[in-house]
Structure 1
Amino acid sequence: MARQERAEVTRAAILDGAARAFDAEGYHGTTLGDIVKEAGVTKGALYFHFSSKEELAQALIDEQFSVPGPAADPEGAGVQAVIDILHMMARQLVEDVRVRAGIRLVIDRSSKTGIVSEPYTRWIELLKAHLVRAQERGDLKPDVDPGQVARLIVGSWTGLQLSSQVLSGRQELSAETTLMWEMLLPSIVVPRRLGRFRPEGSVEEAARELVAVE
Structure 2
Amino acid sequence: MSTRRERAEVTREAILDGAATAFDAAGFGSTSLSDIAKHSGVTKGAMYFHFPSKEALAHELMSDQFNILPTLPNADRPGVQSAIDITHLMAHGLRTWVRVSAGIRLVIEFGSFTDPDPAMYNTWIETMRDSLAPAQGRGDVKADVDVNDAATCIVGSFTGVQITSQVRTRREDLHERVADMWAWLLPGLVPARRVPRFAPQGSPELWERLEQDMAQMRKETAAAD
Give the TM-score band, short-chain normalised: over 0.9
1:106-160 per-position Cα deviation (integer Å, ceiling 9, x unaligned):
1222333521111101100111111011001111010111001000000011000
- Bigger Cα displacement from structure 2, 184-193 vs 4-13: 184-193
Residue in 2 that maps onto 1:182 = 183
Q: Is the 8 A contact 2:75 2:82 kept in 1?
A: no
TM-score (norm 1): 0.93
Structure 2 counterpart of 1:8, which letter?
E
Gaps of 5+ in 1: none
* Equivalent position of 1:21 in the other structure: 22
- Matched to 2:80, the amino acid is V
- Give 1:68 deviation, angstroms: 4.1
Alignment match, 1:122: 123
Matched, 1:96 2:97: yes
Q: Deviations over 1:63-102 (max 9, x none)?
A: 12221499xx774211011000000000110101001110
Q: 2 CA distance for matches of 1:115 and 1:88?
A: 26
Q: Which residue of 2 aligns with 1:30?
A: 31
Q: Tell me which moved more, 166-175 or 183-192.
A: 183-192
Measure, in 1, the Cα distance between the counterparts of 2:204 and 2:9.
34
- Name the structure 2 match of 1:106: 107
**SS of equivalent to 1:76:** coil
**Is the Cα contact below 8 Å between 1:69 and 1:126 reproduced in 2?**
no
The DSSP-based 3-state class of the residue aligned with 2:113 is helix
| Paired letter, 1:46 | M
Equivalent residue, structure 1, for 2:174: 173
Structure 1 residues 149 and 54, CA, compared in 2 at 3 Å: closer, same or farther?
same
In structure 2, distance between residues paired with 1:8 and 1:53: 18
Cα 1:128/1:8, change in 2 over 3 Å: same
Gaps of 5+ in 2: 219-225
Calculate the aligned-residue CA RMSD, in Å.
Answer: 2.0
1:26 CA displacement: 0.4
Alignment correspondent of 2:57: 56
Q: What is the TM-score of this pair, normalised by structure 2?
A: 0.89
What is the letter of the counterpart of residue 151 of structure 2?
A
- Identify the range of structure 1 (195-204 vs 51-60) with the bigger mean alpha-carbon deviation: 195-204
